[in-house]
Chain A
Amino acid sequence: MVPGSKKRLFNTKSFDQFILTQFIISSIMIRNYIKLTWKVLGRNKFFTFISLFGISLTIGILLVVASLFDNMVNPSYPEENRARSLHLMNLKLEDGQGASWIDDATPYFINDFVSKLETPEAVGMVSKPEKHICLSFVGNNKLKLDLRYANQAFWDIYTFDFIEGGPFQQSNVDNRDLVAVISKKTRDEYFGVNQSAVGKMINTDYDRFRVIGVVEDVAKSQTVTYGDLFVPYTTAKGGLDSKHFLGEYIGILMAARKRDVKKMETEYQALIDRLDIPAPTESWQKNLKIFTSETLTLMESIAINIFWGDQKESAARNLRLLIVIAILLFLLLPALNLVNLNASRIFERSSEVGVRKAFGATPKTLMVQFIVENIILTLIGGLIGLLLAFCILQVVESAEFFQNASLGINYRVFVFGLLLSTFFGVMSGVLPARRMSKLNIVNALNGKIV
């Protein structure tokens, strides 16, 4: 008996005793089920092999899909905080007569307004990707480097792994220091593979920067954090003194906790609503009347990445639909297939069912036996599927688009695989097992399964 579980609801010894006996009986039963399963699976090796092959393949492929999906919804390095962050987008100015301008933000908008919000723990900004391609020469080789201007908070929000050195500090930003954090790839190309770079200078057609840190590469698919060269935004040549809203900087708000994201969004919208549109400094800014902006949660940004050009709400709706369809296709069809596979495996044994029932197996015992058998079979299949998925992912990882992405089987995918196998085990076992356990004994003995 578990200590301390006494005198709760039923303060009687007999109740404890009852539970104890039940517990012992069921653990004996389960051991028997498992032993029996070993015997059964060892019996018809060919059929077991075919079943396992089907199950492993199914689960392996599902795990690959799950891993890709996991990589998408749980962006890994260095965007581990994405779930508690919002990306600003669609800053939009309208003249009320049909003309509108949409862009990202200016440092002025981020520093003077967004940074004043209370909920965010940090407000980062980084210039758009592929906006500043600078050139550099190594001997006669021309390097094209994607330069990203960032503020200091950018390094707080994203969990970059530094191979050497560190990020730039607020003082570097304030002093407009020409310092740079470079990617491993840039270091290898510019300074030589695995050469130390910190303290050395890197020449570009933009500026000459002193390297203060080297970070692990980021997959190109991660548009906010990908880059070859990160430098303080204060060293940028233009856009710094704009006193308007639209510019080239992606704003990132990070809340302390995930559950504050909603509050953060509300606070941001309230800010947008109360802001006055600044006085025009350029001709296109005349007559602007309306200012709106949106924020993107993790799911929303995935959604609009998939459904290009959609509004975020409809994109998110479509994404949910897509997920449901994918689940149907990727879960239901293999499940049906497995039901079929297991059904024929189980139906083969109708005479055995008859014998077992004749000698005292209850319908429930048989049912549990078949289900345990199925779960064990699918778990073994799941394990093989896991290995299979691992191998496939190794190959996928070497593909261009996922360069630098780490698609390994993490604990989430592992747990998913475990649940999946159990789900299949139960799903594909219950129906045939029910039918078998309800079979009339005489018919079962005679091999009639109708």
Chain B
Amino acid sequence: MISLQNVEKVYQTTSIETVALDGINLEVQQGEFLSIMGPSGCGKSTLLNIMGLLDEPSAGDVILNGSKITGYSNKQLARFRNQNIGFIFQSYHLINDLKVIDNVELPLLYRNMSRKERYDLSVEALTKVGLKNRIDHFPNQLSGGQRQRVAIARAIVGKPTIILADEPTGNLDSRMGNEIMDILLKLNEEEGTTIVMVTHDESMALKTHRLARLFDGTWVEEKAFQH
């Protein structure tokens, strides 16, 4: 499903060179829920961005759903993301001046889809996260947990096979965090969506299938859990 082979990422700034990822190999199976932990600045976000085709590796290959991504044009990348990947960010990244429903339907705008189809799918996604009755609200009228649920609805509205979540509960208290986690677990269980999640919260990681620890751009530990 997701395969990274010798992925390196080096950030070149004026004077210093930062090696964010140093020869990363990773295999994520279809339907797997992987969590990634590690101290701040160890390269977790960089890894997730490369997996999600938001950023290019300095070296190495990314293979998603059996396609080797290297050499794709911007347009091909955009189309691939649109069809296959849903993103969830720590700070939600909702568009504040758009209503909840318009935020959720955003990925569908870049498919050729009728207005009605888009609306129906968006309502369906919002129902799954329990926010059906909030479609006409604006993000700033919602709590943090609710906002993140809108972001999840946006990530799943296009029925992607992969969800990438970068510290989705990082800004939330534990009760709200657990709500979010439950939604992700349910999504993984019922729809078989492959999920890769970066987290700082060990208790969250324990609920997933596998935990991988990153330190200074390389793997240091890997644990699988039986539930």
- Indicate if the CB atoms of A359 and B74 lie closer than 8 Å: no
Q: Hey, which chain A residues are within 8 Å of B49, CB to CB?
A: 441-442
A interface: dominant SS: helix
Please pick, from B78, B112, B154, the residue contacting A357 in the complex, using a CB distance under 8 A.
Answer: B78
**Nearest B-chain residue to A45, judged by Cβ:** B97
Rounded to whole Å, the gap between the CB of A441 and the closest CB of chain B is 4
Given contacts A43-B98, A442-B54, contact A360 B79 (CB under 8 A): yes
Cβ of B89 under 8 Å from chain A: yes
Q: Hey, which chain A residues are within 8 Å of B52, CB to CB?
A: 358
Rounded to whole Å, the gap between the CB of B53 and the closest CB of chain A is 9
- Indicate if the CB atoms of B81 and A360 lie closer than 8 Å: yes
Rounded to whole Å, the gap between the CB of A422 and the closest CB of chain B is 25
Please pick, from B78, B93, B96, the residue contacting A354 in the complex, using a CB distance under 8 A.
Answer: B93
- Mark out the residues of chain B between 25 and 83 whose CB falls within 8 Å of any chain A CB in the assembled complex: 49, 52, 54-55, 74-75, 78-79, 81-83
- Mark out the residues of chain A between 332 and 385 whose CB falls within 8 Å of any chain B CB in the assembled complex: 351-352, 354-365
Given contacts A25-B112, A442-B49, A442-B55, contact A360 B107 (CB under 8 A): yes
Given contacts A359-B107, A362-B75, contact A351 B93 (CB under 8 A): yes
Q: Hey, which chain A residues are within 8 Å of B78, CB to CB?
A: 357, 360-363
Interface size on A, residues (CB 8 A): 27
Please pick, from A25, A358, A363, A440, the residue contacting B81 in the complex, using a CB distance under 8 A.
Answer: A358
- Indicate if the CB atoms of B87 and A358 lie closer than 8 Å: yes
- Indicate if the CB atoms of B110 and A359 lie closer than 8 Å: yes
- Mark out the residues of chain B between 99 and 125 whose CB falls within 8 Å of any chain A CB in the assembled complex: 102, 106-107, 109-112
Please pick, from A32, A36, A356, A358, the residue contacting B54 in the complex, using a CB distance under 8 A.
Answer: A358
**Nearest B-chain residue to A29, judged by Cβ:** B112
Seed contacts A39-B97, A359-B82, A445-B54; 8 additional CB < 8 Å A-B pairs = A39-B102, A43-B97, A352-B95, A356-B106, A360-B78, A361-B78, A441-B49, A442-B49
B interface list, Cβ under 8 A from A = 49, 52, 54-55, 74-75, 78-79, 81-83, 87, 89, 93, 95-98, 102, 106-107, 109-112, 154, 158
A interface list, Cβ under 8 A from B = 25, 28, 32, 36, 39-40, 42-44, 351-352, 354-365, 440-442, 445
